[in-house]
């Protein structure tokens, strides 16, 4: 029976990685068993509903069980353990400090994989999750692979070592493929571009609506610098100065919340912008399906490789539900969005965001027409059945599914 071990960053305990709900649910049909292990220590609260039948290893970075299993790995499989650690810490690439923190967990996971007949290890992210997968795969003599997203490509954590060992690396956008190939040319055909999978519902029948008194927008993004929330606040201020009444929900959590709340108060937006914290994906979908949101806005910054967007699942979700989207031209976004199916504006420009939102408000018929085209674009490029069939095929070729 095939058994996939999926190494995540924090899922299902963190607020991010919501796309994994959809992808893992679909992958269940290709594996007899799937087990998830987050690298970062669980905080006890599952913020995502794990698909039924999928197991979660709730291990911290280090405790008695991890120590016992890591010690067993060193005793029972010393060659694999020593080889993996020697390679990892002889790497010429960055990441030694971060990788040192996950050594015990990687060794323990390798021993666990042997005991539970894991057939393939897949890491979501090429950073420390891939380091854990590399160690576990080396200990258990298993094929392992990884999905590369955005900043983890530019962080380049032990890429020289991982390039030699990975059976394949999945990328989720054309830009990610180009950038990863430039950094690890030795991967060659082992770079496989498979886009994020989305479950695309029947196109909502709410249709376009006449302009409402209040423009209702939602910004579904973590409160971190790259997401550009301050630009949204400034754009809302500009809209209000032009006589447009706005209500905005910031649907996300993160370290910038106190600063952004203070900024909103200073701009006089205390009753205009609602900080809702983490909003579950199913709730966002309900808002989109019911037509209670006039537009989604994503104002991602473009300030260098480590401060730009990948291909955000929040945008894919909005498009899949036929919701008008105003987004900035950061990172890989241009591969999915253009002015035929939404409102693509330049990054780092509150004025451009404000103009686009005003167009959605004043001309909802055109906004709906663009959103309809966005729906069909996502259906063609990100349908989860198609994308996970490709991923399962990649696992099968490497000996990990069937």
Contact between 134 and 161 (Cβ < 8 Å): yes
Looking at the structure, tell me whether residues 360 and 389 fall in a common domain. no
Contact between 138 and 116 (Cβ < 8 Å): no
pLDDT for residue 211: 62
Q: With helix as H, strand as E and coil as C, how does 236-283 read? A: HHHHHHCCCEEEEEEEECCCCHHHHHHHHHHCCCCCCEEEEECCCHHH
Contact between 224 and 151 (Cβ < 8 Å): no
Looking at the structure, tell me whether residues 224 and 330 fall in a common domain. yes
Rounded mean pLDDT, 13-32: 93
Rounded mean pLDDT, 275-292: 92
Looking at the structure, tell me whether residues 32 and 119 fall in a common domain. yes
Q: Give yes or no for residue 1 having a pLDDT over 90.
A: no
- Interhelix angle 257-266/229-241, nearest 10 degrees: 20
> pLDDT exceeding 70 applies to what percent of the chain?
98
The DSSP code for 229 is H
Looking at the structure, tell me whether residues 327 and 275 fall in a common domain. yes
Q: Give yes or no for residue 5 having a pLDDT over 60.
A: yes
User: Is residue 209 in some structural domain?
Assistant: no
Looking at the structure, tell me whether residues 29 and 129 fall in a common domain. yes
Q: Give yes or no for residue 213 having a pLDDT over 60.
A: yes
- Taking only the tens place, the pLDDT of each residue in 29-39 is 999 999 999 99
**Cis peptide, bond prior to residue 6, ω within 30 of zero:** no
pLDDT for residue 362: 94
Rounded mean pLDDT, 258-285: 95
User: Is residue 43 in some structural domain?
Assistant: yes
User: Is residue 207 in some structural domain?
Assistant: no
Domain count, the chain: 2
| Whole-angstrom distance, CA of residue 125 vs CA of residue 7 | 9
User: Is residue 147 in some structural domain?
Assistant: yes
| Whole-angstrom distance, CA of residue 109 vs CA of residue 120 | 12
Looking at the structure, tell me whether residues 285 and 360 fall in a common domain. yes
Looking at the structure, tell me whether residues 230 and 321 fall in a common domain. yes
| Whole-angstrom distance, CA of residue 127 vs CA of residue 136 | 15
43: Cβ contacts below 8 Å, ≥ 6 apart: 13
The arrangement of strands across the sheet holding 295-298 comes to 273-277, 245-251, 214-219, 295-298, 325-328, 343-345
Looking at the structure, tell me whether residues 158 and 228 fall in a common domain. no
Helix (H) or strand (E) holding 343, with range, is strand 343-345
If you search the block for the tokens 């330049």, which residue do you land on? 346
Pairwise pLDDT comparison (340 vs 208), residue with the higher score: 340
Query: Looking at residue 337, which CATH number applies to its domain?
Result: 3.40.50.2000
* CA torsion angle 330 313 373 288 (round to 10): -120
- Taking only the tens place, the pLDDT of each residue in 56-103 is 999 999 999 999 999 999 999 999 999 999 999 999 999 999 999 999
- In which domain, by residue range, is 40 found? 3-197+383-397
Helix (H) or strand (E) holding 215, with range, is strand 214-219
Strand partners, 275: 250
Helix (H) or strand (E) holding 192, with range, is strand 191-193
SS3 142: coil
Looking at the structure, tell me whether residues 371 and 393 fall in a common domain. no
The DSSP code for 296 is E
User: Is residue 179 in some structural domain?
Assistant: yes
Looking at the structure, tell me whether residues 151 and 74 fall in a common domain. yes
Contact between 334 and 346 (Cβ < 8 Å): no
User: Is residue 354 in some structural domain?
Assistant: yes
SS3 56: strand
User: Is residue 301 in some structural domain?
Assistant: yes
Looking at the structure, tell me whether residues 52 and 136 fall in a common domain. yes
User: Is residue 228 in some structural domain?
Assistant: yes
Rounded mean pLDDT, 174-187: 95
Looking at the structure, tell me whether residues 393 and 327 fall in a common domain. no
Rg (CA), the chain: 22
């Amino acid at each position: 029976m095939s058994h996939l071990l999926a190494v995540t960053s924090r899922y299902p305990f963190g607020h991010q990685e919501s796309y994994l709900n959809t992808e893992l649910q679909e992958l269940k049909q290709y594996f007899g068993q799937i087990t998830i292990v987050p690298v970062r220590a669980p905080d006890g609260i599952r913020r995502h509903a794990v698909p039924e039948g999928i197991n979660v290893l709730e291990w911290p970075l280090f405790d008695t069980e991890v120590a016992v299993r890591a010690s067993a790995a060193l005793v029972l499989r010393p060659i694999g353990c020593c080889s993996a650690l020697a390679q990892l810490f002889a790497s010429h690439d960055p990441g030694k400090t971060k990788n040192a923190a996950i050594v015990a967990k990687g060794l323990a996971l390798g021993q666990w994989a042997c005991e539970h007949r894991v057939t393939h290890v897949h890491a979501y992210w090429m950073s420390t999750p891939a380091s854990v997968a590399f160690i576990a795969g080396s200990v258990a003599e298993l094929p392992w692979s990884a999905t590369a997203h955005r900043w983890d490509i530019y962080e380049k954590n032990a890429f020289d070592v991982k390039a030699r060992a990975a059976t394949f690396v999945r990328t989720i956008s054309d830009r990610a493929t180009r950038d990863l190939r430039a950094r690890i040319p030795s991967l060659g055909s082992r770079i496989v571009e498979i886009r994020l999978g989305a479950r695309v519902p029947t196109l909502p029948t709410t249709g376009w609506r006449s302009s409402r008194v209040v423009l209702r927008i939602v910004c579904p993004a973590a409160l971190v610098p790259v997401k550009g929330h301050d630009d949204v606040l400034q754009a809302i201020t500009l809209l209000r100065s032009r006589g447009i009444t706005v209500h905005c929900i910031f649907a996300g959590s993160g370290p910038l919340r106190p600063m952004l709340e203070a900024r909103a108060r200073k701009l006089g937006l205390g009753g205009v912008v609602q900080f809702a914290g983490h909003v579950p994906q199913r709730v966002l979908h309900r808002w989109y399906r019911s037509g209670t949101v006039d537009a989604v806005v994503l104002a991602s910054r473009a300030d260098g490789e480590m401060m730009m967007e990948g291909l955000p699942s929040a945008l894919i979700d909005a498009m899949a539900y036929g919701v008008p989207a105003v987004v900035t031209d950061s990172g890989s976004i241009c591969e999915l969005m253009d002015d035929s199916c939404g409102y693509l504006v330049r990054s780092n420009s509150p004025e451009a965001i404000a103009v686009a939102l005003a167009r959605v408000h004043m001309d909802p018929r055109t906004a709906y027409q663009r959103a309809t085209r966005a729906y069909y674009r996502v259906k063609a490029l990100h349908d989860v059945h198609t994308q996970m069939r490709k991923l399962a095929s990649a696992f099968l070729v490497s000996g990990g599914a069937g």
